[in-house]
Amino acid sequence: MAIAVVTGAARGLGLAIAERLHAVGYDVVRTDIADTDEQLDVTDAQACRDLARRVQPDIWINNAGVLGAGDAASQDDAVIDQVVSVNLLGVMRGTRAAVEVMRGRDRGRGRGHVVNVGSLASWVPVPGECVYAATKAGVLSFTLGLEGELRAQGVTGIKFTVVCPDGMLTPMITDIIDDPAIAMTFTGLRLVEPDAVAVAVVKVLKRPKRIVSVPKWRGAQVRAIGMVPDAALRAAPLFSRLGRAQQDRVRRGR
């Protein structure tokens, strides 16, 4: 039975992914700072390595994340540090830990699959969540770049995927549903259900792809917008107003 590690799996998207993987037969190791099978703080590089060495995962899913919405120019340094340490450095730590145990398989060609949870925010300016978006852009760049490095070394058997969801109604958002800084999360037609993203993760493990957007059409739209940053910045106030209206509707409907 294949072993899958999921970080940030106490609730929200991580829990949905873990449940879907378990349902299709994976031996799932749910991790978080509390309330899971294994306690794991992704800000601790050695803890990530120790877990990977002990459980020898076939799949490692870096899902743990925090939002840290607000005015990036004036936010506390501690908030910025936490968002970067969990969302970007945490992905790097987890990925490196997984690769360490996966790369020696199959006579050095490697075997395994690392799935990193990014965001559609990787491609566009997201006022109010720009530190979060910057970390997700970093996740995308790091994942693709690391795959390139490994391939140059002959390690071609480890698959890498970045899953990029649109805004989701997870506790990350519901815990601060009244915060105007998160308006850009609501600019899609509707928020994505975590289970839809979990289904996409299961599919990509069967048919590997490097980048998966959820929903697919929204990914194409956001990437197109990101190709013209001047226009994207000019349109940001409009998107923010549309997002606030949708945010109010969601808040009233809860």
Residue of 132, 142, 186, 239 marked catalytic: 132
Kindly report whether the global pTM for this prediction surpasses the value 0.75. yes
pLDDT at residue 5 is higher than 80: yes
pLDDT tens profile 170-224: 999 999 999 999 999 999 888 999 999 999 999 999 999 999 999 999 999 999 9
How many whole angstroms separate alpha carbon 55 and alpha carbon 132?
Answer: 30
Token pair for residue 90? 């945490």
Q: Which domains does the chain have, with CATH numbers?
A: 3-253 (3.40.50.720)
Q: Quickly tell me which residue has 């992905």 as its tokens.
A: 91
pLDDT at 254 (0 to 100): 65
Q: Which of 86, 84, 98, 101 is nearest to 32 (CA)?
A: 86
Q: What is the mean pLDDT of residues 66-88?
A: 97
- Closest by CA to 190, choosing from 169, 220, 164, is 169
* Residue 169 reports pLDDT greater than 80: yes
Nearest CA-CA partner of 41 in 83, 84, 94, 77: 94
Average pLDDT over residues 241-252: 91
Closest by CA position to 156, among listed 87, 106, 228, 223: 106
Q: Could you tell me what percentage of the chain is helix, strand and coil, using 3-state DSSP and rounding each to the nearest 5?
A: 55, 15, 35
DSSP letter (8 states) at residue 1: -
132 in catalytic set: yes
**Would you state the pLDDT for residue 131?**
98
Write down the pLDDT at residue 56.
98
